[in-house]
Chains A and B, each alone.
Chain A
C-alpha cells in the first residue's frame, strides 16, 4: 500500500489555486464576510454588531483632545449611513489580505504556505468577528500591513512613508503598540538585510549599528517614533493597556469558537496548530514563533480580547501543520485523501456554525427600539442597570450611562452589579438601587434566558415599585420608583 505519484489533475487544481490565490482569497473574504451582512440586511437587523463597535461609535461622537484619533471614524460615521460602515470593514479586510499577499514573498514565505495561512485566517471566527464589527484590531492589522509594505518596498521614497500607518497603529492600545515594536525589532535584527531570502534560513543577525542602509535607518526611526508615541498615548491620552473586554470573558470558549465563544479559532485549526507546533520545533529560527505564541498567550489569560493576536499565531502554526501533514508521503494513500476530506469538512462545518450564530449577538432591532424609547422618554441623568455586555449599546442608542461596563474594570462596581442581579429580598435590592441612583432596568431576551425567574432580580421585579414601561420580544424596560 505504498504511495502512488500524485494524480496529475490533482496537481493541476492545486497549482491553479496557488497561482490565482489572490482572486480566490479575495472571493473567499467577500463570501465569508458577506454572509452575515446579507443575512442581517434581509432580516432588517442592524448590520453593525458587537459591543466594541458601539463603544467606538460612542467615543467618536464626542471628540475631545484625548480621543482626537477617533476623528476619522467620526467623519466616516457622519458621512456614510450606518450600513456603509460594514462595507468599509469588508474593504479593509480585502486590502489587508492583498497587503499580506504582497508582503509574503518579501518575507520569504512560500506561496503554498501563504495560501493555507490566509485561507485558515479568513475562515477563523476571530477574523470574521473583527471584520464584521468595528474592531480596533481590524484597523490595526490593516495599518501594520500597510506600514510594513511601505517599509519593505524597493522604491526608497515609499520607505519613509511607512512611519505614518505605523504611528497610527499605536492609538489602539498599549499592548498592540508593544507587539508592533517587537515586530519592528524582529524586522531590524533578522530580516532587513536578508529581505529577499527565506526567513527560516537566516543564519546571522545583522550588524545593528550599520546605518548606511536606508531601510535600517527608517526602521530605527519607525521604532523610535512608535516607542515614544506608545508611551505618550498611554500616559497622556490614557489609551488602555489592552482594549476591552466588551463581553463576559471565558478563557476556553473565547479561544475555541466551537465551545460557544464570541470569536476564537476553530477546533480543527487548533488541532492543526498542535501538529504544526510539534513539527516546527526542529526548524531553524522557529523559536521566534514560539516566543510570539507565549507573548500573546500570557495577556490572553488576563484579557481574552487579545485572542486576535493569539489566533493569528495559532493559524500560522496550523498552516504549517496542514502543509506538513499533506505534503508528506503517506503509506496509506487512500487514508490521506480521507483525512484531507475530513479536515476540509471539519473546517467548513465549524465556520458555517459560527456564521450561523454570529448574528445572535446583539443588538437586535427590537433591542435598539427599546433603547431609542429610553432616549426619548426618560430624562438624561438617569442611570440604566443592565448586563454589562449591553453598556455600549445603552450609551450609543439611549445616550444614558449604564451602571457598570466591563471596560471600566472597577471591581467594586462589578461586585455591586452582581449583588443586584442575585439579591434575594427587596430589603437587599432596594437600598442598592437607591444608593446607586438606578431608576431604569433594561432586560434583554438573553438576560431572561440566563437569569433565574424564581429568585434574584427577575423574581423581585414582580414588586409594585417596579413598573414595566416598554416591552417587546427581545427587550423590556422597567422603571424603579
Chain B
C-alpha cells in the first residue's frame, strides 16, 4: 500500500471518528439499554465479577449474559472516568471498522480505490451510527470482521492465533457469533454444491469453532436452556414487544439503514457470485449475507445487529462492485474516447456522501436518549428515598432506576429467567393506562413499588399529563419538574 493510500485511509478513519465523537459528546447521556452495561462495568471494576445476582432489577433476580464486553470496558474504567470511556472507546471501536473493512475489501477486490470507498461506506453506515450506544455490539462488529479476515488468511500462523483470539472474544461477547458459524456452514454448502475444492484448514476451523461456541454458550446459558428450553433463543421477551425486537423486515427501511448504493451493489454482487461468475472467494461474503438474512427472517437474531452486520458485508461487496464497474469503464475507454470513466470516482464519492453521511448523522441525532432533566430526577431518588424501596417507570427507564437511583425497578429489558414476564409487562402498561386507583394499588402492592416516576417520555407515549388514578390521599407528588415522582402512601389490605 503506498503512502498516499495510507493517508487516505487515516483521513477516512479520523473523519469518521471525529464525526462520531462530536455527536457523542454533543448529545447528552446514553441510549437507555446502555445503562445496564454501564452498571455491569462498574460492578466488574469494583469487585472483579459481573452482577449475576441482581438485587435491584425486577426487585431481585438472576441475570444471564456474556461478560466479554464488560470486562473489556472495565479495563478502561481503571484509568478513565467511566462515562467518558463509554463514549470514547465504543466510537473508537466503531470507527475502526473503516480499517478492517478496508483490509477485507482489499483481500477480496485487490483494488485500493474500491477498498477505500468500501471503508468509507462502512464508516458512515447509518445503522451503526448510534454514537451514544454503549452495548456489546460495538465490540462484536469489529471483532467479527477481524475474525473473518483471519479466517481468510488462515494458512499464516499469526492469523491462526488471531482467529483463535477473536473467536474466543466473540464467543464471550455475543451469542450473535452464531451468524459467523452459520455463514461458514453455508459457505461450505455452496462450495460443495458448486463442486469447488474446500480448504481443509477452513473446514477444521469451522468444526473447532462450532464445538467451542456451543460449549461456551452451554456454560453460560445452562440454566436458561434447562428452564426455557428452545425458547431461550427469544430471550423470554414478552410477546407484546417481540415484534419490536424482531420486527418484520421492511425492505425500504432496511435499504435506508444500510444505505441504498451499497445495498444495490451488494445485491448485484450476490447475484453475480451465485449465478454468473461463481467466484469461490465471494461465496464467503454471500454466505454471510445469506446467514444474516435467514436468521433475521426467522427472527432468531436482533434486527438491528443483523442489519449492521449485513450493512458491513454489503460495504465489502461494494468494493467488488466498484472494481467491476471501473474495469468495465476502462474497457469502454479503450474502445472509444469517453470522459465517463473520469467521472466515475468523484460521482461515486458524491453519491456515497449523499446516501450515507446525511442518514448517518440523522440516525445519530434521532437516538432515543433520556434528557438531562430525566437523569436528574433519577439521581434525586437515590438521595431522597429509603434504600430498600422500589420504583416504577417505563420499561426502557428500568435501567435508569437501577443505575442512577440504586433502587429496585418494576421491570427492565433483561427478560431472561423472569417468570410470567408477559403478565408483568401487561401490569406495567396498565399502570400507565388505568384510571382505577384500586387496580393500580393492587399492582403496586404485588410488585412492592413505593415510588412512581412519570417522565416526558411517558407523557409522549401515553398522551397523558400524568398517571390517571392519582388521588391526594394515596399519592404524594414529591418531585415536580418535567419529570414527576410520586410517593405511594396507601396499600390494599387483603
A residues sitting closer than 8 Å to B (CB atoms) are 1, 250, 252-253, 258-260, 267-268, 271, 275, 325, 330-332, 334-336, 338-339, 342-343, 345-346, 349-350, 353, 357, 452
Contacts and interface: CB of A to CB of B under 8 A. Distances in A.
Contact of B219 (A260, A268, A349, A357): A349
Interface string B175-211: 0000000000000000000000000110011011011
Contacts of B155: 1
B364 to A, nearest CB: 41
B130 to A, nearest CB: 34
Contacts of A343: 211
A331 B154 CA distance: 11
Contacts of A1: 155, 157, 160, 201
Interface string B325-351: 000000000000000000000000000
Given A258-B218, A260-B226, A260-B229, A342 B211 contact: yes
B227 interface: yes
What are the 3 A-B residue pairs with the smallest beta carbon separation, nearest first?
A346-B215, A260-B226, A339-B208
Contacts of B219: 349
Contacts of B214: 267-268, 271, 346
A357 B222 CA distance: 12
Contacts of A258: 218, 222, 225-226
Given A1-B201, A271-B211, 8 more contacts: A253-B230, A260-B227, A330-B204, A332-B205, A335-B205, A343-B211, A349-B218, A452-B420
B218 A267 contact: yes
Contacts of B207: 275, 325, 339
A275 B203 CA distance: 12
17 contacts: A1-B155, A252-B229, A252-B230, A253-B230, A258-B222, A258-B225, A259-B225, A259-B226, A267-B218, A275-B207, A330-B204, A331-B204, A335-B204, A339-B208, A339-B211, A349-B218, A353-B222
Nearest to B446: A454
Contacts of B157: 1
Contacts of B229: 250, 252-253, 259-260
A448 B120 CA distance: 58
The secondary structure that dominates the B interface is: helix
Contacts of B211: 268, 271, 339, 342-343, 346
A331 to B, nearest CB: 5
A142 B386 CA distance: 66
Interface string B433-460: 0000000000000000000000000000
A349 B217 CA distance: 12
B230 A259 contact: yes
B163 to A, nearest CB: 9
A338 B420 CA distance: 41
A336 B160 contact: no
A331 B215 contact: no
A275 B188 CA distance: 14
A334 B222 CA distance: 28
Contacts of B208: 335, 338-339, 342
A260 B154 CA distance: 38
A334 B157 CA distance: 11
B462 interface: no
A343 B157 CA distance: 24
A336 B207 CA distance: 10
A253 B229 CA distance: 7
Nearest to B222: A353
Interface in B118-156: 154-155
Interface centre among B200, B211, B227 (most CB of A within 10 A): B211
A326 to B, nearest CB: 10
B226 A357 contact: yes
Given A1-B157, A1-B160, A346-B218, A336 B204 contact: yes
B212 interface: yes
A325 B210 CA distance: 13
Nearest to A261: B229
B201 A332 contact: yes
A1 B222 CA distance: 36
Contact of B201 (A250, A268, A331): A331
A330 B201 CA distance: 8
Contacts of B226: 258-260, 353, 357
A452 B225 CA distance: 22
Contacts of A452: 420
B494 to A, nearest CB: 11
A427 to B, nearest CB: 23
Contacts of B205: 332, 335
A332 B204 contact: yes
A195 to B, nearest CB: 36
A249 to B, nearest CB: 13
Nearest to A260: B226
Contact of A350 (B164, B201, B218): B218
A343 B210 CA distance: 10
Contacts of B212: 338-339, 342
Interface centre among B205, B222, B226 (most CB of A within 10 A): B226
Contacts of B227: 260
A259 B229 CA distance: 5
A422 to B, nearest CB: 15
Contact of A342 (B201, B204, B215, B222): B215
A342 B212 CA distance: 6
A250 B222 CA distance: 19
Nearest to A336: B204
A269 to B, nearest CB: 12
A357 B225 CA distance: 13
A339 to B, nearest CB: 4
Interface centre among A275, A342, A349 (most CB of B within 10 A): A342
B210 A345 contact: no
Interface in B9-26: none
B230 A331 contact: no
B160 A345 contact: no
Contacts of A250: 229
A76 to B, nearest CB: 34
A183 B226 CA distance: 36
Contact of A345 (B154, B201, B215, B230): B215
Nearest to A251: B230
Contact of B160 (A253, A271, A332, A339): A332
A218 B424 CA distance: 67
Contacts of A349: 215, 218-219
A258 B232 CA distance: 12
B444 to A, nearest CB: 16
Contacts of A253: 229-230
A413 B174 CA distance: 46
A36 to B, nearest CB: 17
A52 to B, nearest CB: 21
Given A346-B215, A346-B218, A331 B225 contact: no
Contacts of B218: 258, 267, 346, 349-350
B200 A331 contact: yes
A331 B204 CA distance: 8
Contacts of B164: 338
A260 B212 CA distance: 21
B492 to A, nearest CB: 14
A262 to B, nearest CB: 12
